[in-house]
Structure formats: C-alpha cells, structure tokens
Amino acid sequence: MNPVVDVKDLETTFFLKSGPFRAVNRISYSINQAETLGIVGESGCGKSVTSFSLMRLIDRPGKVTHGQALLNGKDLFKLSEPEIESVRGGQMAMIFQEPMTALNPVLTIGFQMNEQIEKHLKLTKKDAKDRAIEMLQLVGIPSAAERYDNYSHQLSGGMRQRAMIAMALSCNPQFLIADEPTTALDVTIQAQILELFQNLQEKLKMSVQFITHDLGVISEVSDKVLVMYAGQMCETGPTQEVLTSPRHPYTAALIESRPQMGHRIDRLKTIEGSVPAPHELPVGCPFSNRCSRVKSECWTIKPAFVNITPTRKIACFNPL
C-alpha cells in the first residue's frame, strides 16, 4: 500500500539579509493511512516550518528549495495556486499552535466554518450550516447551534481549539497536520483535547502529522516518531521502540531531560548548550558540539541517515 503522505528530501530556506538560512534540511518521511507520525525536537528545530512547507504557506523570504511532498501520489509543490487552494482545507488540513489568535475576531465561528465547507464540499449555505453544527457537536462543544453564531472572544481557549479542530476536520481531510495543538492549553483541557483527537482519528482514518515537544504526548498519540535537530533528522522509528531504547544521543538526551512520574529529583537533566545559530552550525554532525558521545569524525563528516533495523533509522557515528 502506498503511503498517503510521502515527503522526500524537503529543504526550506529563508533568504535573509545575513545570508540564506536552511530551516529545514533534507527531511524525508512518509505516513500511511490512519497512521500518526509524531515530530519532536527543541524549539526552533524547524517543526513548524516543515508543516508550513507542506501546506505551501511559506512566504518570502522563505522558499521550499528542494524536494517533493506527495499527497496521494501528487506533488504538492508542483500544484498551481488554485490547485493548492482546493487541497488546503479539503484533503489536507492544519491545526495551529495558538487557538487564541487563530480565529478571526470579527467573523462568527459559523461563518468561518461555512466558507470552508461551501468551498470544498460544494454544499449550499443551509447544508453547510448543518454540517458545521454537526462538526461542532462532534468535537464536544455543548449547545453547538448557539456557538455557531458566537464570535471567538465568546469562547474559552479550550472551546476555541475544539472549534479549530472542528473546522480542520469539516471537509474530511485525509491528511491532518496538528502543530502543537495543546501547548497553549492547561493540562486538563490538554488531556481532553488529546483524547478527542485520538477518537476522531480512529473514526475518520486520517493520516496525522502531530508536532509537539512533549514526549509524553507523542507516546500517547503517535505510531511512529521523527526526532529533529536544527532542521535535520536524527532518528525515526516506531514510537515505543524509540522512546524505550533511543539510539541517537540527542533522542536519549531529550528523554532524560523530561520529568518522570513518581521520581523525585533535585534537578532535571538538561542538554548542555542550546541549538546552534545557523551560521555556527558545526561542519559535521549538527549535534556534535553538545553531544556526550562525540567522536573525532563527528566534527568533520556529516553522518548519513541510515537504517539500523528495517523500521528504524538514525544519523549517528556512535549510537547508543
């Protein structure tokens, strides 16, 4: 079976005054039907840029400079502007990091849902409204018919994120990108949204790209995981395997630096240093200046991203 989403050698560059900056550097992954890929990595490692690249929402001075992104075999980067518009919000939808600001404050929730539904499902106003209310009910918004006429400032943060999810799912997408959908919410709401998310995915059989820097969330929602560092791939594989026996030192460091339930510790382990600025990126492995297992070749040669088992890949000369 062909994967629904197949990204190959994606490279996105920002042409800044200080010179070109490669925010995403040759990333490849694929997602099957009803499968969830989790993408993790520290802030600034290029998770959002990867997602926006697929959505073709990268604006000047940024540009996708290499690679392809196949959605059901069709290269998203080769589509014309009207073609990509008919895919966005239809076959492919995205939920954003910030529910507070992602909705238009001067249009009602219903109006914002309707315009999308009318466009992609080609429904009449009346049917689109029914569909929108049905979706609001599906994501667990109480008295959906009234909420339909509300403005975003009349909803709580959790409600807004639910409305965003309802909106993203309203046109039966096959591929959903969720960019840290719960980061801005408090923990109880976060748990509710995650549960809702999993239920819906099972029901709708979507392929999901779930972005987060919370490994706990990843282990709950995703089938496989891709670990990114400074715009590059470090490690990928089935979630449970990667989280229980990480092979790349960066993955291991990420796992160690998160608090464990039931363990009382005086100090959390942190990864020394921070993500290097683009012009300070080491010549060899991008993680070499922070790595505890660094070897001499790490400084000069970039490790290839290769299979270590049929389902797992890493880019490291000295894996765990």
Partner 1 sequence: MTTFILRRLLQTLVVIVILSYVCFGLMTLMPGDPVEMMISANPKISTEDIVRLREFYGLDQPVYKRYLTWVSDITSGDLGYSRTYRIPVTEMMGPSLRATFILSVTSLVFSLLVAIPLGIACALKPNSKLDYTINLFNFAGISLPSFWLGIVLIIIFAVKLGWLPAGGYQTTGMSYPSWWNEVLDKGKYLILPVVSLSIQSIGRFSRFVRSSMLESLRNDFIRTARAKGMSARVVIWRHAFRNALIPLVTIIAISFSSIFSGALITETLFAYPGVGRLIYSSIMGNDFNVAMISFVISVSMVLIMNLVADILYGVVDPRISYK
Q: Which residue has the tokens 């466009």?
A: 119
Q: Select from ligand ATP, Mg ion, partner 1, none the partner in contact with residue 14, using the beta carbon and a kind-dependent cut-off of 5 to 8 Å.
A: ligand ATP
**What value, to the nearest 5°, has the Cα angle with vertex 52 and ends 10 and 86?**
105
Provide, rounded to whole angstroms, the least separation between the CB of residue 183 and ligand ATP. Answer: 8
Q: Binding to partner 1 by residue 104, rule CB under 8 A?
A: yes
Size of residue set near partner 1 by CB under 8 A: 31
Strand order in the sheet with 62-71: 19-31, 5-16, 62-71, 74-75
Distances (CA, A) of 133 to 91, 202, 289: 20, 21, 53
Determine the Cα–Cα distance for residues 20 and 262; give it in Å rounded to an integer. Answer: 46
Provide, rounded to whole angstroms, the least separation between the CB of residue 226 and partner 1. Answer: 21
Site residues (CB under 6 A) for ligand ATP? 14, 16, 23, 41, 43-49, 62, 213
Output 47 or 313, the one with its CB closest to Mg ion: 47
Provide, rounded to whole angstroms, the least separation between the CB of residue 102 and ligand ATP. Answer: 14
**Chain residue whose CB lies nearest ligand ATP:** 48
Q: Which helix H or strand E contains 109, and what residues bound it?
A: helix 109-121
Provide, rounded to whole angstroms, the least separation between the CB of residue 168 and partner 1. Answer: 8
- Residue of 48, 53, 182, 236 that binds Mg ion (CB under 5 A): 48
Output 58 or 128, the one with its CB closest to Mg ion: 58
Output 55 or 135, the one with its CB closest to Mg ion: 55
Strand order in the sheet with 312-314: 92-95, 175-179, 207-211, 36-40, 224-229, 232-238, 312-314, 306-309
- Binding to partner 1 (CB under 8 A) within 61-90 occurs at 81-82, 85-90
Query: Cβ of 187: how many Cβ atoms within 10 Å?
Result: 8
- Residue of 37, 64, 70, 94 that binds partner 1 (CB under 8 A): 94
Give backbone dihedrals phi and psi of 124, rounded to 5 degrees, phi first. Answer: -75, 165
Determine the Cα–Cα distance for residues 186 and 94; give it in Å rounded to an integer. Answer: 21
Size of residue set near Mg ion by CB under 5 A: 1
State whether residue 2 is helix, strand or coil: coil
**What value, to the nearest 5°, has the Cα angle with vertex 238 and ends 138 and 210?**
35
Provide, rounded to whole angstroms, the least separation between the CB of residue 233 and ligand ATP. Answer: 13
Binding letters toward partner 1, positions 127-156, x by CB under 8 A:
------------------------x-x---
Q: 86: which DSSP letter?
A: H
State whether residue 255 is helix, strand or coil: helix
Output 98 or 118, the one with its CB closest to Mg ion: 98
Provide, rounded to whole angstroms, the least separation between the CB of residue 162 and partner 1. Answer: 15
Output 115 or 127, the one with its CB closest to partner 1: 115
Q: Select from Mg ion, ligand ATP, partner 1, none the partner in contact with residue 105, using the beta carbon and a kind-dependent cut-off of 5 to 8 Å.
A: partner 1
